[in-house]
Amino acid sequence: MYIMTDPATDPNIEYIVITFWDKVAIVCGAAGLFFVLLTCMLCTLCPECFCPCYADKKNKKLRRDVTRAASQRSTSSRGSYGSTESDFVYGPSDVTDSGPIKWTPLDVIREQAGDWSSDASSGQDVILLDKNKKRIADLPNGVHNGDVNKHSGSSLQKGKIDFVLSYILSDEKLIVKIIEVQDLQLADGGELASPYVKIRIYRSPKAFFTFREVVRADAVISNLETEVRTRMKRPGDVMTYKESFEIALEAEALRFTTVRLLLCDMDKLSRHVTLGETSVILKKEKLHTVHELAYSKDLMTPVKEPVGRVTVGLSYLPTSEKLYLTLECLQDLKIMDKVTGATDACVKIYLMYEGKQLKRVKTTVRAASINPVFHESFSFDVPKSEIDNVYFSILVCHYHAEQRGTKTIGRVYLGTNFGSESRDLWSNMLQNPRKKIVKSFEITN
């Protein structure tokens, strides 16, 4: 680059002439400046920085993250049992190596909670309990899986429920109002924990080629249409609810409808127990001709509604202190989807301790089947000293794809606090370590 003057035009004017190499230098400088700006931007945004100016800062952050993760894993392994490999329940941050292991229970069961879980196989030998059974003494009064031992269970001797039924013909709505529950008397001095009333609406199938009205016993507990329930109350001599429910119901369907009221309790083991029930067949009541009907009916022994069976396997590894539960299959499930004539089944499994959950897992969904096969296993960390104190609450559910929610079909409880079949399974699991004990249970709703 040089300066040139032109005396012919104006001697005071100077011209700057840029050579080829000057142009190359300018282009290279601009490209270098653009590269520096691009490098700085990438170093700021990209997590994998190769620039020395950011290396020390990112190395320090990485060391802090690794240290924090290690401390959390150490804390969870010492401070919380009931966790699986895929999800830890972290205990308090001040847990030290000395002293006894502390449990960190979660909240009580919320049936809609729980995350999807992956399959995990324990690879244990299988023992079918029904074929190789070492029976223990049965519980008194013929209690089953849904009942607990005598010292913690309750059964209803007598009781009365007051409620009101009415029908709004213009809106085609059935109104059910629960007033109160009174005169309750439990057997063996049992106590209620959190009683509530469950309302179920059943629609019986139409009977053809019948010349007289015949009320079948199985029609009362078939074809469930709607289910609602009251809030839980503190137990007392008289439990006042005063809650009303509006249920859409066509006028023509009144004579095929049965209202079933169940007194339930969520006991100290977070177990939903049905204590008594009563029912009203609307065909006999003529609701469309009266304003409302008040009832005061005695609570009777609840009738079991068949909803299916579940086959599970249990195994315990004493050396690693791991408890494995394998969900094998479900059989003869109740049909929940009337369109497909099947059920989209999934199972929620809760590891419980003193009425609170330590861990919850959930199987995948088996669509459109009343006999789904799972073969999914889950492992839980349980110490030897607490193996007799933990128990499982297994919820069999129907999955609503459109609503992205689940509806509980029934439950099964496994542990030493429950019926003879459950105790058989638990006892054989402990007597045969490292072997999977398989047994089938009836699902209770």
The pLDDT value recorded for residue 13 is 63
Give the SS3 label for residue 229: strand
Whether the Cβ atoms of residue 288 and residue 254 lie closer than 8 Å to each other: yes
Question: What is the model's pTM?
Answer: 0.63
Q: Is it the case that residue 67 has pLDDT exceeding 70?
A: no
The pLDDT value recorded for residue 207 is 53
Q: Is it the case that residue 389 has pLDDT exceeding 70?
A: yes
pLDDT band, very low/low/confident/very high, at 76 (cuts 50, 70, 90) = very low
Lowest-confidence segment of 21-30, 132-141, 267-276 by average pLDDT: 132-141
CA distance 9 to 91: 91
Q: Which residues contact 33 (CB under 8 A, 6 or more apart)?
A: none
Greater pLDDT, 108 or 236:
236
CA distance 350 to 395: 8
**Which span out of 1-15, 58-72, 265-279, 411-425 was modeled with the highest average pLDDT?**
411-425
- Report CA 160 to chain centroid distance, whole Å: 32
Whether the Cβ atoms of residue 282 and residue 219 lie closer than 8 Å to each other: no
Q: Which two tokens stand for residue 54?
A: 């950011």
pLDDT band, very low/low/confident/very high, at 290 (cuts 50, 70, 90) = confident
pLDDT band, very low/low/confident/very high, at 140 (cuts 50, 70, 90) = very low
The pLDDT value recorded for residue 429 is 95
**Angle (nearest 5°) at CA 300 between 297 and 306:** 125
Lowest-confidence segment of 125-134, 255-264, 302-311, 317-326 by average pLDDT: 125-134
Average predicted confidence (pLDDT) for the chain: 75
Residue in this structure with the two tokens 């230098």, named with its chain if needed = 25
pLDDT band, very low/low/confident/very high, at 395 (cuts 50, 70, 90) = very high
Beta strands in 299-344 (DSSP E): 309-317, 322-331
pLDDT tens digits, one per residue of 198-238:
999 998 765 544 444 444 444 455 678 888 999 999 888 89
The pLDDT value recorded for residue 64 is 55
pLDDT tens digits, one per residue of 308-364:
999 999 999 999 999 999 999 999 998 888 778 889 999 999 999 988 889 999 999
What are the C-alpha distances in Å from 401 to residues 116, 359, 426?
Answer: 15, 25, 35
The pLDDT value recorded for residue 102 is 44
Helix (H) or strand (E) holding 295: strand 292-298
CA distance 122 to 151: 35
What are the C-alpha distances in Å from 144 to residues 129, 267, 419?
Answer: 17, 16, 5
Judge residue 223's burial from the number of C-beta atoms within 10 Å of its C-beta, 0-12 exposed, 13-18 middle, 19 or more buried.
Answer: middle
What are the C-alpha distances in Å from 261 to residues 16, 73, 135, 160, 265?
Answer: 102, 48, 37, 11, 13
Give the SS3 label for residue 258: strand
Is the alpha carbon torsion for 205, 210, 213, 214 positive or negative? negative
Q: Is it the case that residue 2 has pLDDT exceeding 60?
A: no
